[in-house]
Structure 1
Amino acid sequence: MDAPLLDLRDIRKTYPSDRGPLRVLDGVSISLRAGETLALTGESGSGKSTLLHLSGGLDQPDSGEVLLDGRDIGQLDDAARARVRRSRIGLIFQQFNLVPSLTVEKNISLQARLANRHDAPFAAELAGRLGLADLLTRYPEQLSGGQQQRVAIARALVSRPALILADEPTGNLDEDTGDTVLGLLLALVAETGAGLLMVTHSPRLADSLQRRVHLSRGRLEG
C-alpha cells in the first residue's frame, strides 16, 4: 500500500497560559492518503485548529512528526515551511483571509503565482464551476459570504496542491449555501486527487467525508 500523504505521529503541543502550560495536543496520530477525505470533529478548544495548523506548517509541534510525503515539515524553518505550503498545500480558513485590495481574479491566482504554478485556463475553469465567472473584477467587500468562501476554495485549489486543509469552511454560511459549497469542494478534491483534512463541528457535514475522527481534550477518541 502507498505511504500516507500526511502522517502525524505522536503530536504534542503546549501553549503558555495564565494558569501555566496548557497542553492542547497530547500524543495525536493521524494519517491521510492521497485522494482521501477525513473530517476532524471535536468541541471548541479540543485542539482541532491547532492540529490543522501544524499539518500545514503554520506552527511547529513540541514533539512528534508532521510528515508530508515522508518529509518532516515540523522540523523545517519558517522559510522552508512557507515554500512547502505554496507548492504542496491548499489552505481554506473559516474567515476566508482574502486580500481586500485584490480583485476576485487576483485573489484566486495569488498563491499559484507565488509558487510559479499559475494556470490561467484552469483558474478560469474553477471560477466558472464555482459561480465566480461574472465576479472576477469585484473586490471581496462586494461579495456575499458564500461568494467569498468560493473564492477561498478556488484559491486553495488553483495550484493543484496535494493536500487541502479546511478549517470550518462552511461555518459562516447558512445550511443550504454551506451544503452547496462543501459539495463543490468535495467534487473538485476528488477530481484533482488531493487529500482533504477538514475541521468541522457538524456531525452531519463530517458524515459527507470518507472518514471521521474525533478530538477531545487533545486526544483522539474512538
Structure 2
Amino acid sequence: MLLSLRNVSKSYTTAEGRLDILKGIDFDLDAGESVALTGESGSGKSTLLHLAGGLDHPDTGQILSAGRDIAALDDRGRAEYRRAAVGLVFQQFNLIPSLDVAANISFHAKLAGRHDREWERELVGRLGIEALLSRYPEQLSGGQQQRVAIGRTLAARPPLVLADEPTGNLDESTGDAVIGIMLSLTKSAGAALLMVTHSSRLAQMLDRKVHLSGGKIV
C-alpha cells in the first residue's frame, strides 16, 4: 500500500462558523495504481489531494505513506515528504517563467537529488517537446505548458503523482492527449496517480474512480 488515509477529517473556520470539508475519510492507493477522484464542487476533492500531498494537515486521522504518518509531521517534515515522495500537477502549470523548458523539466529532479539525463530524454521524446527545450513558458501554448509540467513532475520519479484538474485550462482533444501521455508515463515510472477531475470521460481512462459527496466517499 503506497498511501492510506484512515478516519481523516478536515474543517475550516469561516465567517459563518465551522465548515466541515472531509468527514472520516478512509482511502487506500496502491503503488502503480491510477485513481480518479470525482465529485461536485465543494465536495472536498482538492482538500483530500492537498492532505495526501502534505500541503495541509488534517484535523483528525492518519495519512500513512511507507509506514510514516504524514499527518503527524511538522512543516519541515511535510516539505521533505513532498520533495522525496510526491509529484504535483495543477491546471495552472506553475512553470518557472525565468527558466527555459529544459531547466524547468530538470528543476525538481535536481532539488530531489534524482536527476537522470537518460530518463529526462525519454520523457522529452514521449511528450513530444524536443523542439521546445530552449523556449520559455510564455512562448508555449497551454497544451505545451502542461506537457512540460508533467515532464518536470515525472523527471524526479516520485512514487506518488497528484494531479488537480490537470486539463482544466485545455480544450477536450488536447486534454485527452495530455492525460493519455501522463497515464503512460506514470506507469513507466512505476508511480501511482491520484487525479481530481470533473470529467467522467477522463475518469474512465484511469484504473478506478472514487466519488466524494458531502465530505464522504460514497
- TM-score, normalization by structure 2: 0.98
Match of 2:90 among 90, 93, 106: 93
Alignment of 1:49-128 (within 5 A): 49-128=46-125
| 2:156 partner SS | coil
24-33 vs 118-127, which moves further: 118-127
Unpaired runs of 5+ residues, structure 1, are none
Match of 2:7 among 1, 10, 22: 10
- Which residue number corresponds to residue 139 of structure 1? 136
| 2:14 partner SS | coil
Q: Distance between the aligned counterparts of 1:118 and 1:73, measured in 2?
A: 25
Q: Deviations along 1:160-196, whole A, 9 cap, x unmatched?
A: 1111101011111111111110110111111121111
State the AA in 2 paired with 1:122: W
Match of 1:200 among 194, 197, 201: 197
| 1:16 partner SS | strand
- TM-score, normalization by structure 1: 0.96
Q: Distance between the aligned counterparts of 2:139 and 2:212, measured in 1?
A: 37
The answer (yes or no) to whether the contact 1:65–1:74 under 8 Å persists in 2 is yes
* Structure 1 residue 216 corresponds to structure 2 residue 205: no
Match of 1:156 among 144, 150, 153: 153
| 1:21 partner SS | strand
* Structure 1 residue 169 corresponds to structure 2 residue 166: yes
Instruction: Kindly report structure 1 stretches of 4+ aligned residues shifted beyond 6 Å.
Output: none
Offset of residue 60 of structure 1 = 0.4
Q: Distance between the aligned counterparts of 1:66 and 1:96, measured in 2?
A: 26
Offset of residue 35 of structure 1 = 0.9
Q: Distance between the aligned counterparts of 1:33 and 1:202, measured in 2?
A: 23
Q: Deviations along 1:4-51, whole A, 9 cap, x unmatched?
A: 101011110011111011111111111000011111000111110010
Offset of residue 79 of structure 1 = 1.3
Q: Deviations along 1:109-143, whole A, 9 cap, x unmatched?
A: 11111111111221122111101111111111110
Q: Distance between the aligned counterparts of 1:117 and 1:55, measured in 2?
A: 22
Q: Distance between the aligned counterparts of 1:208 and 1:214, measured in 2?
A: 15
Q: Distance between the aligned counterparts of 2:2 and 2:169, measured in 1?
A: 29
Unpaired runs of 5+ residues, structure 2, are none
State the AA in 2 paired with 1:170: T
The answer (yes or no) to whether the contact 1:86–1:112 under 8 Å persists in 2 is no
The RMSD of aligned alpha carbons is 0.8
| 1:208 partner SS | coil
The answer (yes or no) to whether the contact 1:92–1:165 under 8 Å persists in 2 is yes
How many aligned positions are there? 218
Q: Deviations along 1:59-82, whole A, 9 cap, x unmatched?
A: 000111111112111111111111
Q: Deviations along 1:139-163, whole A, 9 cap, x unmatched?
A: 1111000001001100110111111
Q: Distance between the aligned counterparts of 1:188 and 1:154, measured in 2?
A: 9
Q: Distance between the aligned counterparts of 2:199 and 2:209, measured in 1?
A: 11
